[in-house]
């Protein structure tokens, strides 16, 4: 009985030692994990003057945009307006649609989108958006 117990202990000691010494300490490499971004691009809703974020599957998320900047020029000077939220301010909409007599090309930059957990992501700029003024009846 003592011999069997001694053999079991000796075999288990060899297995334990072989497991400990078989670990390689050289050439250990790390695994780098890149977080996938939920949103890939932004879109502009011309009817409601909203900026909408789209995920990698093409699904729209209307309330995801937290801030952006509007850049446009009138020929003489350039304007940059920083906006919180996803909708254009009423003053900007009135200026672009009612006070101007020609189409205005705008660019939306510094787009920030937040997911449901509150993590913010930067989105690429959205340029070459043309906003036309309101049509008026022409009297001859």
Task: Note the pTM of the prediction, 2 decimals.
Answer: 0.67
Reported as a single tens digit per residue, the pLDDT across 11-56 is 877 777 665 665 566 677 788 887 777 888 999 988 888 999 998 8
Which of helix, strand or coil describes residue 90?
Answer: helix
Cα atoms found within 13 Å of the Cα of residue 21, Cβ hemisphere only: 6
Cβ-Cβ contacts under 8 Å for 41 (sequence gap 6 or more)? 53, 54, 123, 124, 126
């Amino acid at each position: 009985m003592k011999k069997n117990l001694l053999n079991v202990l000796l075999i288990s000691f060899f297995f334990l030692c072989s497991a400990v010494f078989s670990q390689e300490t050289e050439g250990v490499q790390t695994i780098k994990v890149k977080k996938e971004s939920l949103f890939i691009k932004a879109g502009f809703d011309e009817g409601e003057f909203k900026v909408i974020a789209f995920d990698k599957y093409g699904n729209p998320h209307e309330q995801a945009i937290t801030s952006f900047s509007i850049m446009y020029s009138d020929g003489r000077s350039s304007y940059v307006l920083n906006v919180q939220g996803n909708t254009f301010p009423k003053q900007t909409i009135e200026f672009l649609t009612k006070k101007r007599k020609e189409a205005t090309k705008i660019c939306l930059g510094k787009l920030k989108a937040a997911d449901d957990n509150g993590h913010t992501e930067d989105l690429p700029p959205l340029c070459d958006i043309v906003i036309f003024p309101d049509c008026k009846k022409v009297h001859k």
